[in-house]
A and B are shown apart, each in its own frame.
Chain A
Amino acid sequence: MALVSPSIKATTQAQVRASITRRDRNIGGLVLYVLLLIAVATTLLVLFTLLARLFAPALPVFRDRGLSFFTGTIGSNPDKVGIWPGLYGSFIIGIGVIVVSIPLGVAAAIYLEDYAQNRWYNRLIVINIRNLAGIPAVIYGILGLTIFVGWLEPLTTGKTVIAAALTLAVLVLPIVIITATEAIRSVPQGLRDAGYGVGASKWEVTRDHVLPYAAPGILTGTVLSLARALGEAAPLILIGAITGLLPATSLDGPFTALPMTIYSWSSKATPPKSVLGFDNVAAAAGVALLLLVLVFNIIAVIFRNRFEKQRIGL
């Protein structure tokens, strides 16, 4: 009768004990577990090596230069350069993202979640947004080069930080829309019904009930997209952020941004007499960018946690 092993029907205490205390020689399982551990450990090791290799050359810069590294300008002497133009450019880009893509993105999300009927053109918009989110950043650079640098030159005066800000605002727009849509979708229908029940109009319900409830979720997406915009370099190369020597901090002239500073310093040869190398200042600028992006990511995580708590009613 035994289908698998004859011992399995053993029922005396000794037989049962023998069969269920059999040592498990599970070599395959052990191998799998060790391989997985190696994968995780390698991933963590890569990250820590990266951080170590970024911070180690950066430390002398912060030690020797102190604040002047943040207020100095770009140039050809690594003992004197600073990231001020980069910070300025990144700051304006951040403003651009906040001013352009957040209102636009949230409005689009409100439309898609609360106003749009299930028609083919609305479904097309949703599919389109998902595709936009997957397009390589460098292609947005081509778009920016043509539209914001070229067609809209009267507005942006060409290869300026305004063109860069608009380009990156467009780049993160799909992320803002997707995260805002998810936040609005999680608003309980009961909350909307309660608003309609007391005679509020659609817009009043959106303004007074839906948006406040979805706000932390929308903020999470906003902050994440800011972090993304600040770290992006490829589109800036396309629209002509400068890598040279000009101390550029204006809205209508040549510009740079923090990631571009890292990019240009990374491949510059250090002049023979300088104490610090371009390696060092590139790493230091990298640390500055990484911390900036990290701070925004941490803020996003805090918002997200608060949002989750609110959703489960804590």
Chain B
Amino acid sequence: MNDHNAATLAAVRSSSDPERNAVTEVDVAPTGPDPHAVFQAVDLSVYYGSFCAVRGANLAIAQHEITAFIGPSGCGKTTMLRCFNRMNDFIETVRVEGSVLYHGVDLYDPAVNSTEVRRRIGMVFQKPNPFPKSIYDNVAYGPRLGGVKKKAELDEIVERALKGAALWDEVKSRLKASGLGLSGGQQQRLCIARAIAVDPEVILMDEPCSALDPIATARIEDLMQEIKTKYTIVIVTHNMQQAARVSDKTAFFTTEVNTESDRRTGCLVEFGPTSTIFSKPNDERTEQYVTGRFG
């Protein structure tokens, strides 16, 4: 399946305009619904009021892979990520054009229940944000909402989720202690445990290590490798080395300055296997970014 996607993209590229600085869409032109993709963004644009944050992005995300979104600040990578579980809904002025297909179903279809979407597509945020509750209650929060009431069942879910997030051994003796008492890295793993406790299919991670020290970061990165066999992961990161270390596919975003309003609109420049993006990218802008000459 991975090969299939790569092949599709390669086909798209070979048929594209040979000129490197051509319009963005050419690199990742819409390929029609892809039945194997978990997510497929088709001509996705996101506006905040009249301001366009992301313009015309197309990409497909494959199952059980880690996809990284990289690019300079303000390039719309977080905005894009938040379309994948409709987290943008909570911003009053937001407007989404194009479509985000999740297994072929448009997430922005009026019939779609955004709460159910977020049960299947979990999220881990930039800053660790445990609830001011006990470690146990943090993890049990989602399952309880889902209607799990029996203590034994909850205990089992909490244990499995904490083990899944490689936190169990550190906290098993103090499950009733506040989640806020943990270190930053532990808090972030608690947040991952909280996300996987509802057994989602996808985990979206929005710069999950930006508030952590290198050792805690390494633990989270290891954890991502361990859980990718069970979950599809999309990660936004500022850190190019991190993208290179953990991801299978990488999408590079950049900003285009709008000549009229002087505001920056994000756009997807290039998407492909991480090794390609970092070693022989197709687009000059990608090359400048990954070699550190820009951004």
Chain A residues engaging chain B, CB cutoff 8 angstroms: 1-5, 8-9, 11-13, 16-17, 19-24
Set A2, A5, A13, A24: member contacting B105, Cβ < 8 A: A13
Please report the total number of B residues contacting A with Cβ < 8 Å.
28
* Interface status of B102 (Cβ within 8 A of chain A): yes
Contacts A4-B142, A13-B104, A24-B116 known; list 20 others, CB within 8 Å.
A1-B199, A3-B161, A3-B197, A3-B198, A4-B148, A4-B198, A4-B199, A8-B201, A11-B201, A13-B103, A16-B120, A19-B116, A20-B112, A21-B105, A21-B111, A21-B116, A22-B116, A23-B113, A24-B113, A24-B115
Name the CB-closest residue of A to B142: A4
Report how far A165 CA is from B184 CA in the complex, Å: 57
* Interface status of B18 (Cβ within 8 A of chain A): no
Q: List 30 A-B contacts (CB under 8 A).
A: A1-B199, A3-B160, A3-B199, A4-B119, A4-B143, A4-B148, A4-B157, A4-B199, A8-B119, A8-B120, A8-B201, A9-B199, A9-B201, A11-B103, A11-B201, A13-B105, A16-B102, A16-B104, A16-B120, A17-B105, A19-B120, A20-B102, A20-B116, A20-B117, A21-B109, A21-B116, A22-B113, A23-B113, A24-B113, A24-B115
- Distance between B133 CB and nearest chain A CB, rounded to angstroms: 19
* Chain B interface helix/strand/loop/mixed: loop
* Interface status of B146 (Cβ within 8 A of chain A): yes
Report how far A23 CA is from B111 CA in the complex, Å: 8
Set B104, B112, B115, B199: member contacting A2, Cβ < 8 A: B199
Q: Are B198 and A20 in contact (CB under 8 A)?
A: no
| Chain A residues positioned under 8 Å from B143 (CB to CB) | 3-4
Report how far A96 CA is from B102 CA in the complex, Å: 70
- Distance between A184 CB and nearest chain B CB, rounded to angstroms: 32
Report how far A239 CA is from B115 CA in the complex, Å: 62
Q: Are B146 and A20 in contact (CB under 8 A)?
A: no
- Distance between A8 CB and nearest chain B CB, rounded to angstroms: 6
Report how far A72 CA is from B199 CA in the complex, Å: 78
| Chain A residues positioned under 8 Å from B201 (CB to CB) | 8-9, 11
Report how far A12 CA is from B103 CA in the complex, Å: 7
* Interface status of B35 (Cβ within 8 A of chain A): yes
| Chain A residues positioned under 8 Å from B197 (CB to CB) | 3
A-B interface, 10 closest residue pairs, ranked by CB to CB distance from nearest: A13-B104, A16-B103, A3-B199, A21-B111, A4-B146, A20-B116, A17-B105, A3-B157, A24-B113, A20-B117
Name the CB-closest residue of A to B146: A4
- Distance between B157 CB and nearest chain A CB, rounded to angstroms: 5
| Chain B residues positioned under 8 Å from A21 (CB to CB) | 105, 109, 111-113, 116
- Distance between B139 CB and nearest chain A CB, rounded to angstroms: 11
- Distance between A33 CB and nearest chain B CB, rounded to angstroms: 15
- Distance between B32 CB and nearest chain A CB, rounded to angstroms: 14
| Chain B residues positioned under 8 Å from A3 (CB to CB) | 143, 157, 160-161, 197-199
Mask: chain B, 25-41; 1 = CB below 8 Å from A; 0 = not: 00000000001000000
Report how far A2 CA is from B157 CA in the complex, Å: 10
- Distance between A3 CB and nearest chain B CB, rounded to angstroms: 4
| Chain B residues positioned under 8 Å from A17 (CB to CB) | 105
Set B63, B113, B160: member contacting A20, Cβ < 8 A: B113
Name the CB-closest residue of A to B143: A4
- Distance between B257 CB and nearest chain A CB, rounded to angstroms: 23
Mask: chain B, 72-106; 1 = CB below 8 Å from A; 0 = not: 00000000000000000000000000000011110
- Distance between B38 CB and nearest chain A CB, rounded to angstroms: 8
Task: Kindly name the residue among A1, A2, A17 whose own CB sees the greatest number of chain B CB atoms within 10 A.
Answer: A17
